[in-house]
Structure 1
Amino acid sequence: MSDGGWIWDVSTTLAALGAGEAALWAWSPDDDRLQLAGAARALGLGPLVPDCSSAAFRALVLPQDRNQADELLEPRAPGAEVVARIRMRGAEPCVWRGRWLEGGRATGVLAPQTRFAAADHDSLTGLLDRRSFIRCARERLQAPGQHQLVVADLDRLRRLNEALGHERADLVLAALGARLAAALSPKAIVARIGEDEFAALFPAATGPGVEHLRRELERPMRVAGFDIHPKMSLGVVEVRGGPDAPEATELLRRVELKVEAGKAGFRRLGPPLEGDGLSRLALEADLKGAIERGELGPFYQPIVRLGTGALAGFEALVRWRHPRRGLLTPEHFLPLCEELGMMGELGVMMRREAAAQLGAWRRLRPAAAGLTVAVNLSVGELDRPDLLAEACDLRRSADLPPGALKLEVTEGDVMRDPERAAVTLHNLRAAGVTLALDDFGVGFSSLSYLTRLPFDTLKIDGYFVRTMTADPGSAKIVSSIIKLGQDLALEVVAEGVEDAATALRLQALGCDYGQGFSFSQALSPGDALAYIEACDVEGRPARKAG
């Protein structure tokens, strides 16, 4: 029998018991008594033998697996099966399986997950691995009819790993695998085909639709006290099965390319991507030295007070004036900057130029006196020992008053080392730098730390703002963040405001500021100065008509 990817049959279970690699368990909720027999001590469960309370059992379970432990102990109807992978202190990961009996008791067997994991399955999720998926897909595609192949890629896995640690990030991946399998019919072939990548093949007639899959996968989850809002990139292709069906390996490659082409969402693949490898190499060669040549620099996107339409400041966003390709936006080159180790150098340049530019505007135009400029800190920059001294030098050299320079920090960067981050942030705040928590709601919100850190601003990730009209879940997240900002006396900025209707809805919810194409794209320094001269600026009396 296969249950969630674990292979359970009588011979395997008996072999595990005979080899001293399995234990029997019985749980009685009414008596609050968990009994263990067999190889429980050998599996590292000695402190619980021969019986223990539910509290003692939970105390031994690692924090990130306590939800699974609670589900195992939760009473169910007679005949209901339970299965859970649980990690405990001093013990190897074990799979617990059992069945609820008449009288409100459950009994079962537990063994190391390696004993019951199928050889052709991914050990983390219990789904098929890549090789087995291709083999099964090859066989399935020989059947006549229409088939759909979907590939789902978790965005920002590296950011999750950095902030949560690999063990907690693994729990996110395991949950996504379970969600994907649950959203599809039993006839679907489901696999984890890469570190952060899943695939499914199923009859087109039984398919739930790509957007439905996205909604199921992107539902918020709570892991080890953090609220996780996974974002997925999906690709899909529909093919006719039979003797002339495409080779499974090539078909999978096509859909993976489709995902890479549409990292911002679900898109169709264009032919030019086939030659993207050579283009990437050329771009990498051009990028080296681009900072020294003055090709990389900040453009400025206005941040507007929603209630009045007045300009409050700008966010500095990097652009590359490529000598042959023209003006390039960050998605074309920032991943390469990360791979080449250029992010630190790029960040220093962006902060230096943005601060100097705001200082120049303040000297040229009295109307700019109350404006701010915000610059992102990339991953790891919060740990730089010279960051505080740099910020003080920038304010002094540009003659910026307290609050004019704003640094934007992501949740992930803070949560990698919250105590150290708190010291740095408090020092920056004391030095006259204002602080924004960027992309709030995307990853993992620890409200206990948020109340202890000296942030002035919450920035709502543009994905939720752009989708709030069509997606009730996004609308709830946006509304909750605005309410949280109000409760904590923080300013709230909504990114990705692309039309007037969205701006009005955000204003009605109580959002303070907005930025996005509804107001302006990112502007060159000259165009930004013209924007300052043409509009009302926060803190300056509005112009009289006529």
Structure 2
Amino acid sequence: MQVAYSRAEERAGARVDVQPILVAPSHGDDHCLLDALPLAAGIFCMKSGKLWVQALNKQFFDLAYCHGCPEKFSELFHHYSDGLGGDFIRSFLADPANAVDELELTEGTGLNRRFLKLKIAALTPAADRTPRCLLSVVDRTIEIQAENNLRAEMLRDSLTGLPNRLAFTEAVEKAGETLSRDLGHAVLVVDMLRFSRINESMGGIAGDELLITFARRLVLALRAGDILARTGGNEFGILVSLRRGIGDALKAAERIHKVMAAPFKISELEIRVECAIGLAMMHAGQDPEELFRNAQFAVKQAKGAGKPQVYEPQQATEARRRFSIETELRRAIEKEELKLFYQPLINLKSGEVAGFEALARWEHEDRGEISPSEFIPVAEESGLILHLGRWAMDKAAHTLADWDRKAGKPLPLYVGVNLSAIQVARDDVAALVSSALKSSGLAGKRITVELTESSIVQDPARATRVFEALKALDATVAMDDFGTGYSSLAYLQRLPIDVLKIDRSFVTGMMVDPDSVAIVRAVLGLAEALGMSTTAEGVETVELATTLAALGCASGQGFHFARPLEAEAAFAYAESRRQ
């Protein structure tokens, strides 16, 4: 059926003319082409500098809501041809080889908004050489709406209804584009403390109820424009705008603490919930993930400090260094790159070497010497102290056995090895010492295990079992750094301790501080009363050595006698002191 309709004369000089529009079924190769296509399609051409519609199929009329009415389509096409769609067709007809052949087009607003995809292809020119093209149109509205709905779900936390971590990151990135001298931004991370205990004791449903209530209270602390998101299990992120710098962010943290002050009523119980808050200031060009990690790092600091903390780059640098040291320390232990040095312990009466304290040293190929005060805490925090302690015990025992072989007889020397409180808590210390004694062939009395007061205080019952097991091996037990911890006299009386090592902080002050002398004298008297021996740390002058000997201290160690020495030098030093 062919419907003839034209307004060319009525619209003289207009940019668009509508020639007779063919509504399928029709005749001719072009019309058969349109009839065969399953999607909306039409044939367009340029004639006398004007855009003409030669033919449309039924789907095109339906897509335009014209329902086969050429008059209605003509009015609609005249309206839209002056926009992007018309420019798209004209550009292609003018230069098909270089023009774009696809266009995403949006029309309408609100619920009537439609998303169309236009694709264009060249056709053979008409008999009069007029350029022509085939335009197909796909309505992607349902597809786009489904994508938008799916994206909205992807950006929403299903429990609280808040934006999730991904949405928060996008919001932070967008805020970074609006930074100015007058308007800044900060990210706050709020961590609900002890949530796991509440969840475990009251159940998951109560835990979810608490999270929802917690989120609602956070909303009360926000100002207009602030963005709240649930970024983890019991972690929330807040993006705040700043007019007065960090002061605005700290006030936001203060408001959060205020709204959390009242108890939460969950399952007929009143629960007080505390939170840790970390803050990080946004800088121009900063990666959103980096900014969020900075705030998370500040949260960790806040948990220790008990109050909101602002991210400090220096602290983060130190944390990264500790992590780097942990990674490299693990590798160094595996490759046996650490060494044991031995500091002599001198009998203050005879002047001979009574024994040595084994001290771990690490010479890094790039960083140089890394102090034990830096890598030992990292080893304790990461658990590497267990591997390090086993290595030190075994190495020290075998070194002492090697010295015996060089001397041709058992030497009157012992070696002291430090064990941390973590080793006492997690490792089988007695089995560790027993293995070192068996593999080296040493007698138990040749090994002195040095333990700090903290290893006793943390778990007195376990410490008692460890001490008794060590004494069963005939090993010597020394309490290191005595006087700096929290030991009670009851521990000293009950535990089988052989040696008290007086901390260097008391020893080094003896010549100028009467209180230090009194403390050292008291420790020596206490040790004598309990049948214990004593060793003074930090003996750096001959006057100190003489004074300690006069007070009755059995042995001393310090730079006055020798610095920590490598194994061969330590053996030579011991031999020289006996001559």
Bin of the TM-score, shorter chain as denominator length: 0.3 to 0.5
Q: TM-score, normalised by structure 1?
A: 0.47
Q: Which has the higher contact order (CA 8 A, sep 6+)?
A: 1
TM-score (norm 2): 0.45
Larger Rg: 1 or 2? 2
